[in-house]
Structure 1
C-alpha cells in the first residue's frame, strides 16, 4: 500500500489536473494500474485482516504458545527447539502437520512475545509478572528500647499483593539479601522490577539519566536475569504502587511497635501474614487477589540453579593492633595482620576476615547502631600464649580491659603464659564480664595466681558464694579458752558429765 502523501498526489494529478494514469505512473515510477486504483478508490477505511482457518495448526497453537512462554523464562540452552516441539506434538498430540509449519509458527510467536515483553516495560503498573521495590521505616521494641528499623517491600501491581522483610539497615547487602529471600520463597523472579534510585543500587546519576550501578547489584541482576528500571529523580509517583504498599504494610502489620528478640525468626513470620492478606477482592477488578497473584506467578522467570552470594569484598589496611575499619566500625583480625592489607567479605549480618587463600580467619557479627568495635580475642590469645614477650611490643595491652592489662603487666613471663592460656580457655563469646569479676575477687588480697583466678571464675559461674554448715554426726568436744602451758590439752579427754 502506498503512503498517504502518494495517494493524495495521485488523486490530485488525475482528478484535479486531468493527467493520464500513464503520465502519473511514469513520474512516480509505479504501474498505471496502481494509479487508476487509487485515483478511483471510494473507501479508505482500514479493513481488518481476515484470519485464515488452519484445521491442522489451530488446535495445537495454544500448546505451542504455552511451551514458548515456559521456555522464555529459562536460559537459552534450556529452551526447546522448534524440532523438539514438533516431535512432541507428533508423539503426544497426534499432530499431522509439517515440521516447516511448526518452525515458522514458533519463530514468529517468539518474536511477538519477546517484543510484547519489552514493550510492556513502559506501562509497568498493570503488567503481570512485574514488581516494584522500596524501603520504609517503622518503630520496633528491642531490648526495652524503641528503635526505627527499615523494611523492604516488593509489591506486584497487577495483583495488588506484596512481600516484606525487616533489616537492620538499607545497605546493598540488606537490599540483595531481601530480594533473594523473596525470589526463593516465591519460587520465581519478576520479569521487570522498578526501583527508586536507591543508593545500594545506584552509585551516580548522570545528566541524561544514565546511571552507574554498584558492582554487587549489577552481578545480582545478571545472576537472576530480570530487567531493572529506575524512576526519574524526584519522581516517586513512577513507582506509586509500592509507595502505597509501604504505608499499607506499616499501618496493618508493623504498628504498634513489634517486639523483636531474634530478627531472623521475626522475618519468618512475615511470609504468612503477607499471603493471608491476599484473600480479599482486588480494589478494581472484583477478583480475589490470590487468583491474580497466580497470574503473576505464571509470568515470572525461573530461578537459577544456585543462590547468589550477597556479599561484597573489600581490601582494608589493618592498624597496629590488627583492627580494620568497615563502614566506620572496627573489627579485629589477628596480630599477624597488623599494618597489612586484609581482605574482608561483608554480608548483611557478618564481616569475615579472610587469609590469602580466601579462607575465613575470623568471623564477626556485623555491627549496626551505636556499638563501634567488635573484638574476637581467640587469634590474639593463641599467638600470645606461645609468645608472651611479644605482648609488650604489640600494644595489645591497650585492647584488653584495663583490669587485665594491669594484671598482665605485673606478671612474670611464665605467669603471662598461664594467664593467656586461661583466657583462651575461659573466654566465651569474647565477653570479659565474668573474667573481670573473677580477677577483681581474686585480687582482694594482692596479686593472685592463675589458679586463684580460675577458682573464683568457676565459683562465680556456679554462683557458689554460700557455704552450708556441716552438721556432725557425733557431738564435738567444747574447745577450751587459750591458756599457757600444756594443762589445757587434758580437757579434750574429760568426760562430758564432769
Structure 2
C-alpha cells in the first residue's frame, strides 16, 4: 500500500499532467502496474481538460476537442486512444486524413490543456467549474428555543451562485456530509475547491504552506477526485466570494429566525431556494446567472460510482459506569463494558458502539447542543432485574429520573426485581414521560406495587380511567410508620462498624 502522498503524486502525474504509467513508474521506482492501479482505482477518480491545434483537420477539431474533454473527466483506463478516435472519425464522419495527423493533434491539444490547468490556480473567480466553501451561522427556532446553528455554503465564483445546508455542528462529519449532499444533488464535482483552514479538514499548518490533513478528509478528496486549495493563515480575502455569499444567504434567506421542526426536511427545501436565486443577471457580466451556472456544470468532474462513507472509528475506554465520552457528550454502552475499551463508529447522525466481534451493542442519536448524556436503558435494566441488589452501586441508579430513584430506594429486593423487569418491558425509546405519570398516579395512595404501576401505565396509554379502580373504597385505619426497602440493613451495619 502506497502512502497517501505517493497516491496524490501518481494521480497528479497521470491524471492531470498526462504522464505515462511507465514514465511515472521509472520516477518512483515502482511497477507500472502499480501506477495504473492507483491512477484508476475507484476511490480516486480525477481528470482535467485538454486541447490542441490542427491544420488540415479543421472540420473534425471541435469533435476531437469534445471527446478529449469528455475523456478527461474519467479514469485514464476509460479514455479513447488517438487510434480509436481516428477509427471513429473514419467510420462515422467520413474522415479522409491520416492517423498520424490525429495522433499529433490529440497529443498537442492535451499538452496545451495541461499548461492552461497549471496556470489556472488563481484567481478562481475567472474559471468555470471551481468552488469555494465555508461555514456561516444564523439563529433558528429549533426545539422550541432560539439557537445558533452553522450552515455550510458552497459558492461558485464564475456564475456567482451557491448551495447551502444547515447542520447542528461544524465537525468533520457534518462538513463531509454537506459536501457530499451537494455533489450528488448537483450531479458533479467542482474540479477545484478552495477552503479556509477548517479544523475538520486541516490538523496542522506547517512551514511553506504545507498542511497535515485529517485522515477522513484526505480519503474524501481522493474519493471524489477534486483539487483542494487552502487560504493562507489570516488571508480570508482569498475566499472572498464565499464569505460574501455567507452574508448574502443569511440576510436574504435566514433572517428573521426560521423555525425548524425536522432538520433533514428543512434542508430539502434549500435546494429550490438556491436554484430560484440564479434567475437574475450577473452583477458584472449581465448574463443570467443560471446560464453561467450551466458553464460551471460543464467543467465539473464526474461523480464516482459509490458514495463516500463518511464514518470514523475510534477506540474509547468506558468509565466505571460503562459510559464513553465523545466531543464532551456521554453515551452509554452496557454494564459489562465498564472500564473496558469499546470500538465506536461515528458519523454526523449517530454513535454506534461495537463489541470485539464488531457486533452492535448500542446505537445512539448523536448529541448536539445542551444535552450532555444519552442512555440506552435496556442493557442495564436486563442486568439489574436479575441482580437488583447491584442497583444501589451502579451508575443507572443515579441516572433514573428522580421519582424512580426515590421509589426504587424504598423498595424491597423482590419489589425492585419486579419493577425493573416491568421497566424493561414498558420503556420504549428511552422515554420515561408516560412511566413517570404512571408512577405518580399509582403513588397517590402510598407505595405502589409493580402491578399497580403497570395498571396505571396502560390506562394512561389507552386514555382510559381504569386506574380509578385502584382507589380504596373503605377507610383504612392508621398504621404505624415503617421503614421500607433495605436502608435499615445499611443502618445496622453502620452501627456495627461504629462499635468496632
SS at match of 1:155: strand
C-alpha deviation, 1:152, in angstroms: 0.8
Whether the 8 Å CA contact 2:438–2:454 is kept in 1: the answer is yes
1:387-466 equivalent positions in 2, closer than 5 A: 387-388=387-388, 390-391=390-391, 394-465=394-465
Range with bigger deviation, 348-357 or 59-68: 348-357
Between the aligned partners of 1:463 and 1:435, the Cα distance in structure 2 is 14
C-alpha deviation, 1:129, in angstroms: 0.3
Between the aligned partners of 1:211 and 1:456, the Cα distance in structure 2 is 62
Count of matched residue positions in the alignment of Structure 1 and Structure 2:
417
SS at match of 2:348: coil
Between the aligned partners of 1:390 and 1:77, the Cα distance in structure 2 is 64
Match of 1:252 in 2: 252
Between the aligned partners of 1:200 and 1:123, the Cα distance in structure 2 is 25
Match of 2:63 in 1: 63
SS at match of 1:344: strand
Match of 2:138 in 1: 138
Whether the 8 Å CA contact 2:456–2:467 is kept in 1: the answer is no
Match of 2:161 in 1: 161
Match of 1:362 in 2: 362
TM-score (norm. length: structure 1): 0.79
Between the aligned partners of 1:357 and 1:85, the Cα distance in structure 2 is 53
Match of 1:34 in 2: none
Does 1:375 find its partner at 2:362? no
1:271-290 equivalent positions in 2, closer than 5 A: 271-290=271-290
1:2-401 equivalent positions in 2, closer than 5 A: 53-54=55-56, 57-388=57-388, 390-391=390-391, 394-401=394-401
Whether the 8 Å CA contact 2:54–2:61 is kept in 1: the answer is no
SS at match of 1:445: coil
C-alpha deviation, 1:234, in angstroms: 1.1
C-alpha deviation, 1:406, in angstroms: 4.0
SS at match of 1:275: helix
Q: Which one has the largest radius of gyration?
A: 1
CA change 1:177–1:395 in 2 (3 A) is: closer
Match of 2:489 in 1: none
Between the aligned partners of 1:219 and 1:147, the Cα distance in structure 2 is 33
Whether the 8 Å CA contact 2:459–2:467 is kept in 1: the answer is no
C-alpha deviation, 1:293, in angstroms: 0.5
CA change 1:303–1:467 in 2 (3 A) is: closer
Between the aligned partners of 1:78 and 1:322, the Cα distance in structure 2 is 52
SS at match of 1:255: coil
C-alpha deviation, 1:87, in angstroms: 2.3
Whether the 8 Å CA contact 2:134–2:196 is kept in 1: the answer is yes
Whether the 8 Å CA contact 2:205–2:211 is kept in 1: the answer is yes
Match of 1:17 in 2: none
SS at match of 2:307: coil
C-alpha deviation, 1:361, in angstroms: 2.4
Whether the 8 Å CA contact 2:455–2:467 is kept in 1: the answer is no
C-alpha deviation, 1:430, in angstroms: 0.6
SS at match of 2:132: strand
- Please list the CA deviations of residues 415-446 of structure 1 after superposition, one character each: whole Å capped at 9, or x if unmatched: 44432232122112211122122123223334
C-alpha deviation, 1:449, in angstroms: 2.1
Q: Indicate the RMSD between aligned Cα atoms, in angstroms.
A: 2.1
Between the aligned partners of 2:301 and 2:111, the Cα distance in structure 1 is 18
- Please list the CA deviations of residues 259-308 of structure 1 after superposition, one character each: whole Å capped at 9, or x if unmatched: 11111101100000100111111111111111110110000000011111
Between the aligned partners of 2:355 and 2:76, the Cα distance in structure 1 is 38
Between the aligned partners of 2:224 and 2:83, the Cα distance in structure 1 is 28
SS at match of 1:264: helix
Between the aligned partners of 2:294 and 2:254, the Cα distance in structure 1 is 26
Between the aligned partners of 2:355 and 2:115, the Cα distance in structure 1 is 49
CA change 1:465–1:118 in 2 (3 A) is: farther
CA change 1:355–1:85 in 2 (3 A) is: farther
Between the aligned partners of 1:302 and 1:209, the Cα distance in structure 2 is 29
TM-score (norm. length: structure 2): 0.79
Whether the 8 Å CA contact 2:74–2:302 is kept in 1: the answer is yes
CA change 1:395–1:351 in 2 (3 A) is: closer
Range with bigger deviation, 402-411 or 91-100: 402-411
Between the aligned partners of 2:55 and 2:143, the Cα distance in structure 1 is 71
CA change 1:333–1:467 in 2 (3 A) is: closer
CA change 1:341–1:52 in 2 (3 A) is: closer
Structure 1: give runs of 5+ residues left out of the alignment: 1-50, 470-498
Whether the 8 Å CA contact 2:152–2:165 is kept in 1: the answer is yes
C-alpha deviation, 1:52, in angstroms: 7.3
